[in-house]
């Protein structure tokens, strides 16, 4: 007569593996930093007679390329051309 013994399955190796995984994963996840994007900053400029996008961009663009500054002013203010009206307010990205 053949007697087969069935092995008992224990949960101890599974619990040990889960504990080891947590010990490795938790410090890694805790050291992860999440940064929120900062809000865009703008200078508000009032257009005076004779002002052009080029002159405003050159005066307020800092060391940036003037054409890049014009492109950012145009996109920020949803301009569809280079025509400006005296008294018009423009947001200049900082």
User: Could you give the CA distance from residue 9 to residue 27 in angstroms, rounded to a whole number?
Assistant: 31
CATH 3.40.50.970: does it fit domain 42-93?
Answer: no
What letters, b where the CB count within 10 A reaches 16 and e where it falls short, cover 31-54? Answer: eeeeeeeeeeeeeebebeeebebe
Question: Each residue's pLDDT tens digit in the chain (94 positions)?
Answer: 566 666 666 778 888 888 888 888 877 777 767 777 888 899 999 999 999 999 999 998 888 899 999 999 999 999 998 899 999 999 999 8
How many whole angstroms separate alpha carbon 91 and alpha carbon 44?
5
pLDDT of residue 25: 80
- Which residue is listed with tokens 């002013």? 73
Integer Cα distance of 18 and 93 in angstroms: 51
Q: What is residue 63's predicted lDDT score, i.e. its pLDDT? A: 86
**pLDDT score at 48:** 96
Residue 89, helix vs strand vs coil: strand
Question: What pLDDT does residue 40 have?
Answer: 85
């Amino acid at each position: 007569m053949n007697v087969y013994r069935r092995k008992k399955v224990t949960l101890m190796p599974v619990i040990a593996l889960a504990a080891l995984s947590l010990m490795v994963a938790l410090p890694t996840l805790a050291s992860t930093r999440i940064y929120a994007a900062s809000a865009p900053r703008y200078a508000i400029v009032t257009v005076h007679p004779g002002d052009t996008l080029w002159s405003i961009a050159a005066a307020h663009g800092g060391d940036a390329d003037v054409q890049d500054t014009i492109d950012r002013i145009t996109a920020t203010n949803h301009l569809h051309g280079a025509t400006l009206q005296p008294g018009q307010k423009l947001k200049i990205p900082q």
